[in-house]
Structure 1
Amino acid sequence: MAQRTVLVVLFDGVQSLDVTGPVEVFAGAEQHTPGTYRVHTASLDGAAVRTSSGLTLVPDGTLADAPGPHTLLVPGGQGTRRPDPRLTDWLRTNASRAERLVSVCTGAILLAEAGLLDGRRATTHWAYCATLARDHPAVEVDAEPIYVRDGHVSTSAGVTSGIDLALALVEEDLGREVALTVARHLVVFLRRPGNQAQFSAQLAAQTAQREPLRAVQQWITEHPADDLTVESLAARARLSPRHFARAFRAETGTTPGRYVDRVRLEHARRLLEDTGDGVEEISRASGYGTPEAMRRAFVKALGAGPAEYRRRFRPLTH
């Protein structure tokens, strides 16, 4: 098996965890299976860079002298807000050398600036998705998933999602057992599915301004197995169903039904990850009623049924 070179681009204002998270994954895989990965870091002039948190990273050399990469990894950080034109020029000219192009967080902005995401589906940190879509209309921006893979180009959301994506790439290259071993060492999930939402149902929706609606949001979160029809929730808010549905959407940015779906999915995921309860018990506790109803919801949202989700994404601390 040929060794894969992972070239990590460094620049002033880079987010340190965007760099170190994926690097630890690839380095861990190399330790487990020697000869599989060579991680090389480089900046434009080979000088040390100062990260957004104040840490200093010393690269292995210059981008001009860097070895030809199998995987070119572009992290994000504050330095992507006003990128050095020399860096985007280098990416535009040299990215085609890589068999695999990867960005973490706002590294997607650098790829977009270089024209490398035109016509592709991509994501970035949720706070910058609107900016990416506005400034680069040729990019199909998806703000929901933690990472997106479109051909040989992979983009991930904020910070720790770079670890998820790196684990997925290791699993693709070396198999599940190696990725599992690396994940255990890092005390993380084997990997979250790429289409898992970037944030929870409670964070994805806005908090309602009016007290009756805020109270209903909290009730949904605490009682996912209860009757959560629009009629029942409207009665709790002391509003007509039509008025409630209209007000809920206006204040939270989502419909009551979609909010309930997200809460139930999140509740079921946590039970699968954190408990040994059976699927039938979890389906009742999460408001699905039957295992089949929960399975359909999981497949639609996550691309995997509950049993498969538990097998692949359970915590790996033991």
Structure 2
Amino acid sequence: MTDFERSGPPLVSVILCVYNGERYLREAIDCALHQTYPAVEVVVVDDGSTDGTDAICRSYGDRIRHLPERHLGLAGARNLAIRSARGRYVAILDHDDHWHPEKLTRQVRLFFNRPKLGLVYSNYLQINPAAQVMEEKSAAERGMRRGRVLPELYERNFIGNTTVVIPKPVLAEVGLFDERLCYSLDWDLWLRICHQHPIDYVDEALASWRWRPNYAEDHHEIMLREAYQIVSTRQPRLADRLTDAQNQSVENRLARISFSLGRLYGRAGRVPTAIEWIQRSIRHEIFTPEQPRALKSLEDLTALAAASSPPGRDGI
């Protein structure tokens, strides 16, 4: 008999936050309620919806815990759900995503006999609005990411938020979602968890993440700026724990983010701001393929600024 069978299944709290999500909400709630894992509570925070979301939630009666709120934002709504959760583990499910029926069973088992794990995640399918599979997102294809993965996670967020299960005591230790962030709140939390704990991974697509057309393009500037803020503020506290090569990788990540912001502002005609971010990219860079392009971009933008009329104030 395994420890899992001997002690009984601990409660998992599925937290689901929604705003005007009537189109997919019932599918998401049903996939949480129909997990093969036997001890699940579903906590739904309705963040001020004006469509049929409230009626859908009420139709489930006491099978879910429905918390109607008003405009907390995603981080605030998730934090409310976590504080309200009664389970030993917290699993995140977005209102337009979907889980494999075995997801929680497969993941919770990994925590038994490994009490120091801070997080378990998995592969996931990227699907379109019609639920057609676009591709599988697999960490295994880029090298298995388990154990102590903090340096790799600084380079890129490879953890899909809808795949994650986290022990609630870990959240009490590292803190909840940062409510100042809009689009990088998941990555920021994963970094704080991985700073203190090893993580584990199921090499199978246990969730489906619904792609939203134009989502990244519409919010690209804020996403990049938040990413820069997260890496630049946390790196100094981490530097003495990393090898020289790992510190170089983090610097190169900052260089790539800065270069992307410089190009974005350049295309928008915000030349002084573009120059500042390209210069920042070059200062960070040890060497990446972007380095020659960054130097060329700086030359072009400087020439453009010199040829144009004196620019107005264009602060960051």
Q: TM-score under structure 1 normalisation?
A: 0.31
Q: Which has the higher contact order (CA 8 A, sep 6+)?
A: 2
Which structure shows the higher strand fraction?
Answer: 2
